[in-house]
Amino acid sequence: MTNVSRTFVVEAAPDVVIDYLKDFSHAEAWDPGTESCTRLDDGEIAVGSQWHNTSTIAGVSTELVYELTELRADSVTFVGENDTAKTTDVITATPHGTGTELTYDATIEMKGAAKLGAPAVKVIFEKVGNDTEDDLTRVLNQLA
């Protein structure tokens, strides 16, 4: 299991941040690996909403179905899964001045034969974490 966490400050208020991030299709704008992210259901976004995500990381393309498993005023949790991996992303937004301190915590669990590549996963996802922080900061600051 690999865990990558980043904490940083953005200019947008926490309610604006959570309202934006609860729609995982926005990952196309802030997740450097995401190539496409399409909602699989209709209606208001709520716990149970799902998205089909296609990503390429370190030259490897993968598809996961993500589900919004928790939605609170100060956080969102998404769980993405396929045959080779399960990822849990918890994003917490707390007030910081007029903006938000954001903590993005991602846990990646490889399954089956993919577990053999687990040591390389940490190195790759640390880089992805840095890029995600940069992209999220840019996108969320535009919402302020």
126 has a pLDDT exceeding 80? no
Rg for the chain (alpha carbons), in Å?
Answer: 15
Band (115; pLDDT cuts 50, 70, 90):
low
Kindly list the structural domains of the chain, giving each domain's residue range(s) and its CATH number in brackets, ordered by start: 2-142 (3.30.530.20)
Q: 2 CB contacts (<8 Å, ≥6 apart)?
A: 107, 108, 109, 110, 118, 121, 122, 125
Q: What is the pLDDT of residues 10-40, one digit of tens each?
A: 999 999 999 999 999 999 999 988 999 999 9
- Name the one residue in this structure whose structure tokens are 């974490």: 129
pLDDT at 50 (0 to 100): 98
Distances (CA, A) of 136 to 31, 83, 96, 140: 8, 28, 16, 6
| Exposure b/e, 28-41, CB count within 10 A at least 16 = b | eebbbbbeebeeee
Q: What is the pLDDT of residues 48-102, one digit of tens each?
A: 999 999 998 777 789 999 999 999 999 999 999 999 889 999 999 999 999 999 9
Q: Is residue 72 classed as helix, strand or coil in its secondary structure?
A: strand
pLDDT at 59 (0 to 100): 78
